[in-house]
Amino acid sequence: MTTCTRQPSGPSTVATRPVVSVVLPCLNEERTVGGCVQKALRALADVGLSGEVIVSDNGSQDNSVAVAEQSGARVVHCPEPGYGNAVRVGVEQSLGDLIIMGDADGSYDFSAIKPFIEQLQDGADLVMGNRFRGGIRPGAMPWKNRWIGNPVLTSVLNLFFHVRIGDAHCGLRGFSRVAFERMQLESPGMEFASEMVVKAAKCKMRISEVPATLDPDGRDRPPHLSPWRDGWRHLKFMLMFSPLHLFLIPGAALIVLGLLLMLIPFGGDYQIAGLRFGVHWMVLGALLLVVGVQVVQFGVVARLHTVTHRFPEPDRALDWLRGHVRFGHGALLGGVLLAIGLGIDLWVLREWIRAHFGALEMIRPALVATGLTAVGVQTIFFSFLVAIVNPSPIHRGREVDRSVPPAPAPARSSSGARQESSLQE
């Protein structure tokens, strides 16, 4: 887990608990961090709310820390490198119930954070800035980010997680402390921005958008963002959190295509629209069938792991499977498929013996047997794997040894009992 040390710098002593905390991750931003801090402080004064500005330094080698302190910020230090680590540490060390975060490179106008605060006060859990609605100044965003990367990744996020936002990667955004704690954010790098939206959607949080402007940054060095590398990290994160799109849909498509390629030429060569389907297509179909079943099974295990170990969330399809499909069902299905495949192989073997071990034209049945045998073996071992990853159906069934009395619960103090009750609530 990321650790941090709080350094009492700047106005670290606050007379009253602030309502709003503005968090700026910072890495070598001495040219711009001071202006960002001053704009944020003036904006907090304009809205009439007590607030603070936190600069989360991520190992700056220039004068960023001194500039931030002189401008009125409280600086905390994050020893673990990465944008996500810096934001998370800054939020954890802040005191406000409402948090506004944004880059310290001068590209965002912190004097315009009032709409974010108003949306949060109105009940929004996460408020996203939308640079396409607010305006992108010339030279502020590379063309490949503006016209390819951002629209594509935003569309994928909207499709996978059923959100409706226009700019999934705006660095200026706001959220409540309660929402931040519920999201349990973990990503160390730039994909932290996607993780926040994904987990907010999975938690059924209220997400809103407000216009935000983007100006050219004030750096005298290349940006930390690497479009292709960080774009891939965003996409990889979204795929990892959506087994349906990563495993289940592609796997199901492979299964359907494999079955068609195996069944259409099974009785002999077949021609469709001038395309001839023969035994070679059956070989491809058997391969696609085996791979498709394996990919679907990977998806089920990934989904089980996600909801039981990483990010619990309701899943009606998974709940139905856990309640109705037990280990024995999967093992039985795998055994039946295996038996059918071996039966066909025995039939082919018998025909070969009858032909006195000579030439035999039974490639089609042999391919079907190969596919069924492989899928049957996979399904048997998949059932064992599911039982290991998710043992709850076994515990709910008859396989529990009820002859052993349950161990007595350890005695707890009244304070411990109150604490457990509050956690359960």
pLDDT tens by residue, 111-154:
999 999 999 999 999 999 999 999 999 988 888 888 888 899 99
Does residue 424 form part of some domain? no
Parent domain of 333: 243-396
Helices (H), 271-400: 279-305, 316-324, 327-354, 363-389, 392-396
How many separate domains does the chain show? 2
Looking at the structure, tell me whether residues 247 and 313 fall in a common domain.
Answer: yes
Looking at the structure, tell me whether residues 50 and 195 fall in a common domain.
Answer: yes
Name the residue type at position 50: S
Looking at the structure, tell me whether residues 17 and 138 fall in a common domain.
Answer: yes
Looking at the structure, tell me whether residues 134 and 108 fall in a common domain.
Answer: yes
Looking at the structure, tell me whether residues 235 and 262 fall in a common domain.
Answer: no
Does residue 419 form part of some domain? no
pLDDT of residue 268: 77
Q: Mean of the per-residue pLDDT values for the chain?
A: 83
Looking at the structure, tell me whether residues 70 and 204 fall in a common domain.
Answer: yes
Looking at the structure, tell me whether residues 174 and 28 fall in a common domain.
Answer: yes
Please write the tens of the pLDDT for every residue from 207-261: 999 999 999 987 766 666 676 777 788 888 888 888 888 999 999 999 999 999 8
Does residue 346 form part of some domain? yes
Does residue 413 form part of some domain? no
Does residue 402 form part of some domain? no
Does residue 135 form part of some domain? yes
Does residue 425 form part of some domain? no
Structure token pair of residue 64: 């960023």
Evaluate if pTM is beyond 0.75. no
CATH number for the domain including 135? Answer: 3.90.550.10
Rounded CA separation 150/227 (Å)? 10
Name the residue type at position 214: L
pLDDT of residue 311: 63
Q: What is the DSSP letter of 111?
A: G
Contact 7, 70 (CB under 8 A): no
Contact 30, 63 (CB under 8 A): yes
Does residue 379 form part of some domain? yes
Looking at the structure, tell me whether residues 230 and 363 fall in a common domain.
Answer: no
Contacts of 119 (CB under 8 A, 6+ apart): 127, 174, 208, 210
Looking at the structure, tell me whether residues 50 and 169 fall in a common domain.
Answer: yes
Looking at the structure, tell me whether residues 197 and 134 fall in a common domain.
Answer: yes
Structure token pair of residue 316: 């009606």
Q: At which of 182, 208, 240 does a domain end? A: 240
pLDDT of residue 400: 38
